[in-house]
Amino acid sequence: MAERVLYLVITAAGPAERIDVMIELARAEGWSVYCIASPSAVEHFLDLDAVRELTGHSVRTGYQGQGQPALPNADAVIVAPATYNTINKFALGIADTYVTTQLAELNGLGVPIVVLPFVNTGLAGNRSFQRSVEELRRSGVRVLLGEGEFEPHPPRTGDRAMATYPWKLALEAVSGS
Ligand SMILES: Cc1cc2nc3c(=O)[nH]c(=O)nc-3n(C[C@H](O)[C@H](O)[C@H](O)COP(=O)(O)O)c2cc1C
């Protein structure tokens, strides 16, 4: 049977440094993983060679270049870690990077999307963010935020929060896709 295709969208928050954890969990469940990263995630957090090694595919950071293979159609999408910035842009329909354009399009096509935020209590308490989460949920996106899902940490405790970041929940949420 052909492997199911998972797009793993990586944005610029601490857990991006440990994206190997998510990739390995997904590979173990039989997903073929294609990573798409925001420019800030690449600048601050990702080792592109290491990710390519783990997935067997180059990390997509922009539109298909000449000679670069096209991405196969996605069966499901996980956005993890999902920043405050990307969640707000996605909810507003902004498409100013490859990541946000892909998310806009995939949502319009009805591809299942799971968003696993990584935000502190300050960002999570912001009214714009709360509106964005509501809007995404209304448009069929599964946002794993709240009790028993991702629970925001106090500012400046992100390093500790990374240890319990619930990668597994994102995978469970797409496993029926
Ligand atoms: C070291 C570092 C840690 C950051 N941690 C977070 C974070 O935990 N959550 C968050 O939403 N943004 C965090 N940011 C801010 C985002 O990276 C910033 O808003 C960026 O514009 C997000 O771009 P992106 O959503 O396109 O990846 C962090 C930035 C840096 C440099």
Domain ranges within the chain, ordered by starting residue: 15-62+75-174
Q: Model's pTM, two decimal places?
A: 0.98
- The C-alpha atoms of residue 64 and residue 119 are separated, in whole angstroms, by 30
What's the CATH code, domain 15-62+75-174?
3.40.50.1950
Pocket test for ligand 1, best of 35, 83, 101, 165 (most atoms within 8 A of CB): 83
Q: How far is the CA of 12 from the centre of ligand 1 (A)?
A: 4
**Band of residue 132 on the pLDDT scale cut at 50, 70, 90:** very high
| 157, two tokens | 């405790």
Partners of residue 115 on adjacent β-strands: 79, 143
- The C-alpha atoms of residue 50 and residue 140 are separated, in whole angstroms, by 33
Partners of residue 21 on adjacent β-strands: none
Of residues 64 and 42, the one with the higher pLDDT is 42
> Which residue's CA is minimally distant from atom 8 of ligand 1?
13
| Conformation bin of residue 144: beta by default, left when phi > 0, alpha when psi is -120 to 50 | beta
* CB 100 near ligand 1, within 6 Å: no
Q: With beta carbons less than 8 A apart as the criterion, state whether 143 and 117 touch.
A: yes
- The C-alpha atoms of residue 56 and residue 33 are separated, in whole angstroms, by 8
**Band of residue 176 on the pLDDT scale cut at 50, 70, 90:** confident
Of residues 76 and 1, the one with the higher pLDDT is 76
pLDDT of residue 67: 81
Q: How far is the CA of 141 from the centre of ligand 1 (A)?
A: 21
Pocket test for ligand 1, best of 9, 38, 61, 85 (most atoms within 8 A of CB): 85
Q: Report which secondary-structure segment, H or E, holds 47.
A: none
pLDDT above 80 for 145: yes
Across residues 56-70, what is the average pLDDT?
Answer: 88
Across residues 7-24, what is the average pLDDT?
Answer: 98
- The C-alpha atoms of residue 150 and residue 167 are separated, in whole angstroms, by 9
- The C-alpha atoms of residue 146 and residue 136 are separated, in whole angstroms, by 15
pLDDT above 70 for 1: no
Condensed to tens digits (0 to 9), the pLDDT of residues 73-124 reads 999 999 999 999 999 999 999 999 999 999 999 999 999 999 999 999 999 9
| 41, two tokens | 């995630």
- The C-alpha atoms of residue 99 and residue 42 are separated, in whole angstroms, by 12
pLDDT above 70 for 25: yes
pLDDT of residue 93: 98
pLDDT of residue 164: 96
pLDDT of residue 171: 97
Q: State the average pLDDT for the chain.
A: 96
